[in-house]
Amino acid sequence: MEQLKVKSFKFPTIYQDQKGERMFTRNKLTTLVAVSTLLLALNSALSGSASAAGTSIVDGNAQLLTPLLDSTNTAAIDKDGNDQQRMADGWVKNGWYGSGLVYQVTYAPSGGLLNMTYHVTDKSGAPVVNKPVILRVGKGYSASTSMIRVDGRNTDQRGGKGALSNKIDQLNITHNTDYFGNVTFSLQNIDEPTVGVPQPKSYTDAPDISVDGLNDYHTQTLLAINNENFMDIAGQYSDHSVMTSIYYFKHDSLPSTQVATRPTLKLVAPVLNSTNSFTTAAGVKGAYVNVGSSVVIAYKVLDDAGVALPNANVEIKNGATTLTAVSDSMGYAVFTIQDTHTKGEAKPASLTAAPASAGAVALSVTPKVVGASSTTADALELHFFGTPIAAKATSTTITCAKGKTFVKVKGINPKCPKGYTKK
């Protein structure tokens, strides 16, 4: 086995005093470890070796897995009394977006981290495997104003109020979907904790934006499944996706930390059911994965009272190696695993068949929370089969900016012209 490589990263330390509604940020140091037989990366882009046919997905569907947003943690009405989803339905009716567009508004603390994980399927409902999709951060026409960092890249200062036109996305981040059609992005807010809208009493409250708008710190995201012409109406219209507006609230003090001596971890991704998984004799849920594929593994971390637990150090052990992720502002800890085996088990008779007793090429995932006396967790067993699928080159489109001039470049690994920067 190759020598282990260890890198250090700073992650936010986040506290809360109610169910996912009051969270605060400090900095803490953690580590990320990579090994030769299974390369595991926390919140990073991957270039997996499995690939589905075709270049771009038309009539694709997206579902937001993390954070799970519903009527209990989203603001259905804006500050002017407008119904958020009804507005989105109007945008669809106008022909600007594809049918089924979901629009949700939620909150996070200024300086907080959010892991946004999506499940992507084609028009037949099959997972979109190892295809590039684009997260549009600070989406054009959203007047996004918060500073967001993704994969080491920052949005423009104060969004539409800055140098660039509000018509243009502030960031376009490309990641590949995994073997189950899942993809994750880590959004780190880098605004000061003392700026933002007032902390809401409930996440269902409309954002309390001042008359002058100076406390309006938010970003809007949209997952582009059709990665060609994704900023054009034609490209948007072919997607059936999820748009999310995140309002960041200011905070000046820290409440008492949560009790997490016996936390619980619930598996959120991959989504396993009676058609794509099996259960071992020990009662562990398992699934088959083609050798050479990537897999997003996401957990919701809960404290002793069943409340979402931010800033928990979650560990996964692979032999002598320990992988660590930190739960985000809403309690989600996400790992992305890249398998590097060159040969796996024999192809199973079906996805629900019990694994063979011999020749296993498997990864057992039993996460725990560091410092807890005990952890109740949904264990996961992944069995890798077959041989790697040869990757096929795909064409993508990028937007490049030079002052107020914008151009689009399409191709395999497209590059911006000299003097232009990628948006």
Q: Which pLDDT score, from 0 to 100, does residue 255 have? A: 54
Q: What is the pLDDT of residues 285-295, one digit of tens each?
A: 999 999 999 99
pLDDT (tens digit, 9 = 90+) per residue, 314-338?
999 887 778 899 999 999 999 999 9
* pLDDT exceeds cutoff 50 at 96: yes
User: What are phi and psi for residue 237, nearest 5 degrees?
Assistant: -70, -25
The partner residues of 24 in beta bridges, in order of sequence, read 15
- In this prediction, residues 352-368 reach a mean pLDDT of 92
User: How many Cβ atoms are within 10 Å of 372's Cβ, its own excluded?
Assistant: 18
Q: Residue 324's beta-bridge partner residues?
A: 315
Share of residues in the chain with pLDDT > 90 (%): 63
Instruction: Give residue 7's pLDDT.
Output: 29
Cβ partners under 8 Å of residue 358, min gap 6: none
Task: Please report which confidence band the pLDDT of residue 33 belongs to, taking 50, 70 and 90 as the band edges.
Answer: very low
Quick one: pLDDT band at residue 171, thresholds 50, 70, 90?
A: very high
Q: Is the pLDDT of residue 87 over 70?
A: yes
Are 22 and 255 a contacting pair, CB within 8 Å? yes
Q: Is residue 31 over pLDDT 70? A: no
Q: Which pLDDT band holds residue 71 (cuts at 50, 70, 90)?
A: very high
Structure confidence at residue 230 (pLDDT) = 77
Residue 15 pLDDT more than 60?
no
Tell me: pLDDT of 306 over 90. yes
Look at residue 25 in the predicted model and tell me its pLDDT. Answer: 31
Query: Which residues are bridge partners to 335 per DSSP?
Result: 297
> Could you tell me the pLDDT band of residue 394, with boundaries at 50, 70 and 90?
low
Please, which pLDDT band fits residue 236 given cuts at 50, 70 and 90? confident
Give the best-scoring range by mean pLDDT among 2-11, 157-166, 230-239, 249-258: 230-239
Predicted confidence band at 177 (pLDDT cuts at 50, 70, 90)? Answer: very high
Residue 392 pLDDT = 59
The residue-averaged pLDDT of 131-150 equals 94
Confidence of residue 355 (pLDDT cuts 50, 70, 90): very high
Six-digit token pair at 50? 């499995």
3-state secondary structure labels for all residues of the chain: CCCCEEEEEEEEEEEECCCCCCEEEEEEEEEEEECCCEEEECCCCCCCCCCCCCCCCCCEEEEEEECCCCCCCCCCECCCCCEHHHHHHHHHHCCCCCCCCEEEEEEEECCCEEEEEEEEECCCCCECCCCEEEEEECCCCCCCCCCEEECCEECCCCHHHCCCCCCCCCEEEEEECCCCCEEEEEEEECCCCCCCECCCCCCCCCCCCCCCCCCCCEEEEEEECCCCCCCCHHHHHCEECEEEEEEEECCCCCCCCCCCCCCEEEEEECCCCCCCCEECCCCCEEEEEECCCEEEEEEEEECCCCCECCCCEEEEEECCEEEEEECCCCCEEEEEEEECCCCCECCCCCCCCCCCCCCCCEEEECCEECCCCCCEECCEEEEEECCCCCCCCCCEEEEEEECCEEEEEEECCCCCCCCCEEC
Confidence of residue 421 (pLDDT cuts 50, 70, 90): confident
Residue position matching structure tokens 């929370």: 369
Give the start-end residues of each E strand in 126-178: 132-137, 148-150, 153-154, 171-176
pLDDT in tens, 72-86: 999 999 878 889 999
More confident residue, 61 or 11: 61
Mean pLDDT within 141-154: 94
* Spatial separation of the C-alpha atoms in residues 389 and 53, rounded to whole Å: 11
pLDDT greater than 50 at residue 387? yes
Q: Is the pLDDT of residue 49 over 70?
A: no
Tell me the average pLDDT across 101-106: 97
User: At residue 210, does pLDDT exceed 70?
Assistant: yes
Read off the pTM.
Answer: 0.80
Is pLDDT at 389 greater than 70 in this prediction?
no
The proportion of the chain whose per-residue pLDDT surpasses 70, expressed as a percent, equals 82
**Mean pLDDT computed over every residue of the chain:** 83
Task: State mean pLDDT over 5-20.
Answer: 31
- Domain segments of the chain: what residues? 48-254
What's the mean pLDDT in 404-417?
A: 84
Please answer whether residues 50 and 391 qualify as being in contact, where contact means their C-beta atoms are separated by less than 8 angstroms: yes
